Copies of this chain bind each other. A is one copy, B any other.
C-alpha cells in the first residue's frame, strides 16, 4: 500500500460505518461500499472519523473494521485515532498500522486554547504513536472548538516529523490555504498535503488556492474526484459547472448533526447501504427531510446522469 506523504493528492473518502437494524456492523454493506469507492475513482479511504461514528465503536470493533477493509481493497487507508488520552490513541494506532493502514488522523481535544497548548498536544501525540507513523492534523474548529492559526500548523509540522497532511476544514478557510502555501514557499514550514473537508462546500475554490484534494464524505464522491481532476487539468469552467450542479445537495448534506443521516440515506437510495441507521445516539431523517433529499436527487439527476437512485 502507498504510504501517506507530504505529496499526496486526490480524494480520500470519509467512509461511513454501516450498521444493521440491530446496531451490529453490516459487513455486506461495507463490502459494497468499498467496491463503490473503488469504482468512483477515489485515491484512498479514511475510516473511523467522526462521520464513521468512531466514538460509538469499541476498540475491538474498530480494529475489526480496519482489518476487513484492508483485506478487500488496495486503496490506502487512513484511520481516525483521536482519543481523550494518549494511551488509547497509541493502542489503536499500533493495531491499525500493523493491520496495514497508511497513516492515522488526530483531532485536537476541545480543551486546547493557546497556540502552545495545541503544539504541545500534537508533539505529545506524535511521541505517543511513534514518530515514524504518518499522521493527519484534523483542523475543524466548528466541531472541536479549537482554532489553529497557520503559524500553529507550521510549528506542528516543524516539530512532529510524522505530520505529513492537513485535513483542512476551517471555515472560512480559503485564505488559510493561501497563507500555508506562502509559508511553505518562504521556507517557514515543510510542505504538507492539504486535503479539504467540510463536505466539500468550498472545494471549487480550495483546489484553486493550492489544496491537493479532498478528504470528506459527500454522498456523491464522484463529484469530488471530478472537481480535483478538472481543476488540476486547468478546466476551470467545467469544474465549477459540475460543482454548482451538486451544490444544492452538497449544502443540504453539510448541515451539522444531520449530515451523516443525509449521507447514509443517499447511499441507501443509491443501493450501496442496506440501511441508513446510526448507532445511538444518532439522528434520523424525518419523512419530510427524506422527501427534500429525494427532490434534490431528482433535480441533480437531470444534470449528472451518474446519480441514479433505486426505487
Contacts and interface: CB of A to CB of B under 8 A. Distances in A.
Interface of A: 53, 55-59, 61, 83-88, 91, 110, 113-117, 120-121, 124, 127-128, 141, 146-149, 151-152, 171-172, 174-175, 178, 201-202, 204-205, 208-209, 240, 243-244, 247-248, 251-252, 255-258, 279-281, 286, 288-289, 292, 299
Nearest to A23: B87
A57 B87 contact: yes
Given A172-B257, A289-B175, A53 B85 contact: yes
A56 B86 contact: yes
A114 B149 contact: yes
Specify how many copies of this chain sit in the oligomer: 4
B248 A251 contact: no
Contact of A58 (B88, B149, B292): B88
A244 B255 contact: no
Given A56-B86, A57-B85, A174-B289, 20 more contacts: A53-B85, A55-B85, A56-B84, A58-B59, A61-B87, A84-B84, A85-B281, A86-B280, A113-B147, A114-B152, A116-B149, A120-B281, A128-B280, A175-B286, A175-B289, A178-B286, A205-B252, A208-B292, A244-B244, A251-B251
Given A86-B56, A124-B280, A174-B292, A244 B240 contact: no
A287 to B, nearest CB: 10
A178 B288 contact: yes
A86 B19 CA distance: 15
Nearest to A179: B286
